[in-house]
Amino acid sequence: MDYQKAIAFMEARAPTIAAGQTPETVWLLEHPPLYTAGTSANPEELLDARFPLFETGRGGQMTYHGPGQRVAYVMLDLKRRVPDVRCFVATLEEWIIRTLAAFHVCGERREDRIGVWVRRPEKGEGCEDKIAAIGIRVKHWVTLHGMALNVDPDLSHFSGIVPCGVRERRYGVTSLADLGLPVSMPEVDVVLRREFETLFGPTEDQAVARTENTSPGRRGLRSSPVPSRS
């Protein structure tokens, strides 16, 4: 899915969700290889501009999107749920952690590092790898952007940036495939939906746009406005 088209869709969707004219939306997709720079990004953290770089309004620093990574754009109305951004981010983390647990992966949150991490003792003492990134923006109390879970991306593509500004050598990037789990994207999507409904409420399929729902990699879910909980 073209990144700029995805951002334009979210920007147009947010005010209509806030006004109650369209339902909340969770959009599951994949992007072609690209880098994005959040509002806290440092230009020096772009090490090798091998892919297009897009500045975006989400929080955070540099990140990578590409094939084999499940991106979830989560557009929820916090006014009708819990108007607490910290709570929302914590619930996104919990969503990822529960999804990983279904595949017998122990994902963990860190107070000093955003995202979800996996301990890698086989790499050395204190080594951990990030398996999912989180970056959001809130507009009219509607959330934009969301999370990216590494299923089976080309991990070498992350070397073109300092992912999320984390420079310490003991912190790297991993994926389900890298951990020895050859899980398909449809399998991941089934679990993501189940665990999302546990935390955020029931969903139903919806057509996001005329051309954006034509493959399993581009799915839209409509969510009912019940309180988020972690």
Q: How far apart are CA 35 and CA 53, in angstroms?
A: 5
Token output for 101 = 């647990």
Identify the CA nearest to 212 among candidates 203, 202, 221.
Answer: 221
d(CA 132, CA 115): 6
**Any idea which residues carry the catalytic annotation?**
164
Contact yes or no for 32/102 (Cβ under 8 A): no
CA 114 – CA 131 distance, rounded (Å): 11
Q: How far apart are the first and last CA of the chain?
A: 30
Q: Please tell me the distance from the alpha carbon of residue 22 to that of residue 102, in angstroms, as a whole number.
A: 32
Write the DSSP assignment of 7-35 as a string of letters.
HHHHHHHHHHHHTTSS-EEEEEE---SEE
**Which pair of structure tokens corresponds to residue 169?**
């050598």
